[in-house]
Chain A
């Protein structure tokens, strides 16, 4: 029998993988994909909770999360394009003027 805990642990694993990806990768696009992965992990826990609580709200929330993810992807990728145009790189270690 698959319980809600299975799904939540899976979600946690996916989320952690996404976090580690953000922390160790330097390619901005990959980092972006890791963020999408984290969003998906959360979506999974929403749907799982909705199913085991006999509720619809989790599914509806996934719907809105996807909207935000889409908007974020569009703007974020536009930023990456703009950065690449200026600095000829998408390695975020080359983009380090955000300091003193």
Chain B
């Protein structure tokens, strides 16, 4: 049952992603991307990562994509915007390169190069404590410093965005 769910959701994810890169209208592109992200959230749930799935929907599909849509509408672009194509000859090599990249990544996945150490957080253990509670505990104890640094990062990014987008300071 869950295997079927995975295949269905994976197919939706890939399809919307491919639609995204061939879509002329950026608004539709954004919508396809939102669909991709929601499908990814479903996959996260399949992987027992409920908190990440929720954040995926709230932050990515919600906040970030709304920002994208907001900018698209702010700029009010025509649909046939991409008039000038300076590198028409790059299209085929680019796709070939993409395929090459995929091949090589698959080779890496199959070659036993990727190996990890088993940790203590088994599914039963996580379900006993609760996924969100565990992440919260870790964030505010072991990973407190990086967590606080992300706040500085976001603060700086906000200032930078305002600096760049404002007409006159």
Answer yes or no: A and B touching, Cβ < 8 Å.
yes
Q: Which residues of A contact B (CB under 8 A)?
A: 1-2, 5-10, 12-21, 23-27, 29-30, 32-34, 36-37, 40, 43-44, 47-51, 53-57, 59-60, 62-64, 66-75, 77-82, 84-85, 89-91, 93-94, 96
Q: Which residues of B contact A9 (CB under 8 A)?
A: 106, 109
Q: A100: shortest Cβ distance to chain B, in Å?
A: 16
**Which B residues lie within 8 Å of A73 (CB)?**
64, 67-68
Assess the B95–A20 pair: CB atoms within 8 A: yes
Interface size on B, residues (CB 8 A): 89
With A16-B105, A30-B20, A66-B55 as given contacts, are A81 and B164 in contact (CB-CB < 8 Å)? yes
Query: Inside 8 A of B143's CB, which chain A residues have their CB?
Result: 60
A70 and B14 contact, CB distance less than 8 A? no
Contact of A37 among B26, B36, B47, B150 (CB under 8 A): B36
Q: A37 to chain B: which residues have CB within 8 Å?
A: 17, 20, 33, 36
CB-based contact A56/B75 at 8 Å: no
Which residue in A15, A55, A68 is a CB contact (below 8 Å) of B121?
Answer: A55
> Are B135 and A63 in touch, CB under 8 angstroms?
yes
Which residues of the partner chain B approach A20 to less than 8 Å between Cβ atoms?
Answer: 21, 94-95, 97-98
B97: chain A residues at CB < 8 Å are 19-20, 23
Contacts of A34 in B (CB 8 A): 20-21
A20 to B109, CA, bound (A): 20
Task: Tell me the nearest residue of chain A to B143, going by C-beta.
Answer: A60
Query: What are 18 A-B pairs with beta-carbon distances under 8 A?
Result: A2-B46, A6-B6, A14-B17, A20-B95, A21-B21, A24-B91, A26-B85, A27-B26, A37-B20, A54-B121, A54-B125, A55-B119, A63-B52, A67-B150, A69-B60, A69-B64, A72-B157, A91-B81
